[in-house]
Amino acid sequence: MTITLEEIAQRAGVSRATASRALHGTYPVKAETKQRIAKLAKELDYQPNLAARSLRTERTCTIGIVVDDISSPFSPLIVHGIHDALRQNGYVSLIINTERQVETEIDAMHDLLGRSIDGIILVESFLQRDRVMPDLAGKPFVFVHRLFNSGVGNCVMVDEQYGTRLAVEHLIHLGHRKIAHITGPKGWDATNDRLTYFRETMTRAGLPLDEALIREGDWEIEGGYAAAQALLTVPERPTAIFAANDSIAVGTMYAIQEAGLRVPDDISVIGYDNLPSATIIRPKLSTVTMPCYDMGQTGAKLLIRQLANHALPDEQIKVRGELIIRDTTGIPVLSTLKAKSTHS
């Protein structure tokens, strides 16, 4: 029923070996024979049996993807990037979803090893968070993550310094001086990074750092809302708020609007991630992209390099997002006037 190499070889009047060589193009085969075999293969729609091939070669052209949550807002984009890069190089992937369970992640690794895959990409791995290096029987692996910055082994991370600067400098260039920051929850590398680089950027620009303008959020709308309400009561109200992610930014906008103020006329808001919420809310949210697709591609390419040459040293790569200016950031005209009149 199915076409085997044997079938092709017989019809072409050659041995299986020759047919195999002809189709691979790596060994010398007479040009004429080669063409005849190629034609035959095409006509018969020959599909090499990959199980047989990998039994022989110990390569499967399949890589495993271990992902924290395949239906989160970020992971599908990362997986998309991985897929595209793999496909261009003739690889496919098996995906295992860990539901953010460390045990599932470890089980998944086992499973994948049994399937004799060539390598593994771990997306938002909990092993990596805990700085644990998985044991993969010598198979190459790459970490891709947004929220941890361990920088151990082969990994692709976000350039948080670059992204934070894009956001904060955008506000500074618009003329803002009193800029508040609503952070993510404690204990996340991303929270620390964005806060650190917020401070750094302010200082670099020679602006004062008012600790009263730094509040903690929870990555969600609710936390952003509460933190922003608090910010609106400080004596020297900020003219702009840098939210550590888009959900916080949305909550911030609700708090501002509910207080009877306008975005961006009274207070500018900028987010981080560029999730769909940024274009659902009105006015549309200015933000910095989380370069998920790019990270996925970069990770897959890194793995492919490692696959080609196992001796390569580990690489840590940072990927940069970009600034998306929409309608929530503007010149601090009105606020400044108001502030002046209050003081006069």
The binding site for a second copy (CB under 8 A) comprises 1-2, 47-52, 54-55, 60, 62, 70-71, 73, 75-77, 79-80, 83-84, 87, 92-97, 110-111, 113-116, 137, 221, 250, 254, 276-277, 280-282, 293
Q: Minimal CA–CA distance to 262: which of 334, 324, 323, 214?
A: 334
Q: Using CA atoms, how far apart are residues 251 and 32, in angstroms rounded to an integer?
A: 70
Give the range of 54-62, 84-92, 132-140, 187-195 binding DNA by CB under 7 A.
54-62
5 binds, among a second copy, DNA, none (CB under 5 to 8 A by kind): DNA
344 binds, among DNA, a second copy, none (CB under 5 to 8 A by kind): none
Give the range of 45-53, 70-78, 195-203, 209-217 binding DNA by CB under 7 A.
45-53
Q: Using CA atoms, how far apart are residues 214 and 231, in angstroms rounded to an integer?
A: 8
CB of 8 to DNA, least distance (A): 8
Closer residue to a second copy in complex, CB, 126/225: 225
Q: Report the SS3 class of residue 108.
A: helix
CA distances from 298 to 147, 156, 255, 289 (A): 17, 7, 38, 16
- Of positions 11, 38, 44, 53, contacts DNA by CB under 7 A: 53
Site for DNA contains 36 (CB under 7 A) = no
Q: Using CA atoms, how far apart are residues 94 and 65, in angstroms rounded to an integer?
A: 6
Sheet holding 268-270, edge to edge: 214-216, 179-183, 240-243, 268-270
Q: Is 52 exposed, middle or buried (0-12, 13-18, 19+ CB in 10 A)?
A: exposed
- Of positions 10, 35, 57, 342, contacts DNA by CB under 7 A: 57
Site for DNA contains 28 (CB under 7 A) = yes
Q: Minimal CA–CA distance to 272: which of 249, 238, 251?
A: 249
Q: Are 219 and 271 in contact (CB under 8 A)?
A: no
Q: Are 164 and 106 in contact (CB under 8 A)?
A: no
137 binds, among DNA, a second copy, none (CB under 5 to 8 A by kind): a second copy
Give the range of 55-63, 128-136, 142-150, 250-258 binding DNA by CB under 7 A.
55-63
Closer residue to a second copy in complex, CB, 185/283: 283
Site for DNA contains 10 (CB under 7 A) = no
Give the range of 25-33, 145-153, 260-268, 289-297 binding DNA by CB under 7 A.
25-33
Q: According to CB under 7 A, which residues from 186 to 245 bind DNA?
A: none
Three-state SS sequence of 244-294:
CCHHHHHHHHHHHHHCCCCCCCCCEEECCECCCHHHHCCCCCEEEECCHHH
- What DSSP string describes 157-189? EE-HHHHHHHHHHHHHHHT--SEEEEE--TT-H
Site for DNA contains 40 (CB under 7 A) = no
CB of 162 to DNA, least distance (A): 43
Q: Is 107 exposed, middle or buried (0-12, 13-18, 19+ CB in 10 A)?
A: middle
- Of positions 10, 24, 258, 312, contacts DNA by CB under 7 A: 24
Residues that bind DNA (CB under 7 A): 2, 4-6, 13-18, 20-21, 23-24, 27-30, 33-34, 46, 48-49, 52-53, 55-57
